[in-house]
């Protein structure tokens, strides 16, 4: 087996390792508290747009962004949230996983949280940290239901890695037998 093939298999294995389940079980039952400089709410379309120093908190979950767009379904339930950073500051997401002492933390230029699909997409300058494990790349997709993470580097129109583009970087802490 070549060194490149071995490296590729190791990376695939590491990316398939589950991260701990995200979210305290009662977070979804908590009220949503939202602060922003402006709000544009269209109940008929089920779209709310908040801009300027946006902070959304629900239980242990907190999203900070320059712009936050919320999409509700016909039953007025939140389906999707798109958080966007500014030119000076990335958007952030944090939440306390069930049974953990430390928060799951993520940041990127754009975060798309698909609540009905239980997936969080981090786009551009993506960074995820939990219990000392760190994932960095151009795009990170975290599946909160299946507890999986997929990280990828920047690709061109043909799907090939961009020359001199940012590669993924992973730091995994050693696991003791007591965990």
Domains of the chain with CATH codes: 17-171 (2.60.450.10)
> Average per-residue pLDDT in the chain?
81
Q: Give the rounded percent of residues in the chain with a pLDDT score beyond 90.
A: 44
Query: Is residue 3 over pLDDT 70?
Result: no
The reported pTM is 0.77
93 burial (CB, 10 Å; 0-12 / 13-18 / 19+) is: buried
Q: How many CB atoms lie within 10 A of CB 4?
A: 8
pLDDT tens for 87-136 read 889 999 998 877 778 888 999 999 999 988 989 999 999 999 988 899 99
In the block, tokens 């997401």 appear at: 93
What residues contact 60, with CB distance under 8 A and at least 6 apart?
23, 24, 27, 94, 95, 96, 103
Q: How many CB atoms lie within 10 A of CB 74?
A: 7
> Do 19 and 133 form a contact (C-beta atoms < 8 A)?
yes
């Amino acid at each position: 087996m070549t060194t490149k093939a071995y490296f590729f298999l190791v990376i695939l294995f590491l990316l398939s390792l589950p991260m701990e389940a995200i979210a305290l079980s009662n977070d979804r039952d908590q009220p949503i508290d939202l602060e922003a400089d402006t709000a544009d709410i269209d109940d008929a379309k089920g779209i709310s747009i908040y801009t300027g120093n946006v902070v959304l908190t629900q239980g242990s979950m907190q999203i900070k962004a320059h712009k936050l767009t919320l999409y509700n379904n016909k039953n007025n339930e939140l389906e999707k949230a798109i958080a966007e950073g500014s030119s000076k500051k990335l958007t952030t997401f944090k939440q306390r996983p069930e049974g953990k002492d430390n928060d799951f933390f993520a940041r990127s230029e754009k975060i798309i949280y698909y609540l009905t699909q239980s997936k969080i997409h981090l786009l551009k300058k993506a960074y995820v940290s939990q219990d000392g494990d760190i994932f960095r790349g151009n795009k990170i997709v975290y599946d909160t239901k299946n507890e999986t993470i997929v990280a990828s580097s920047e690709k061109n129109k043909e799907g090939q890695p961009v020359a001199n583009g940012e590669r993924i970087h992973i730091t995994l802490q050693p696991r003791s037998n007591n965990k």
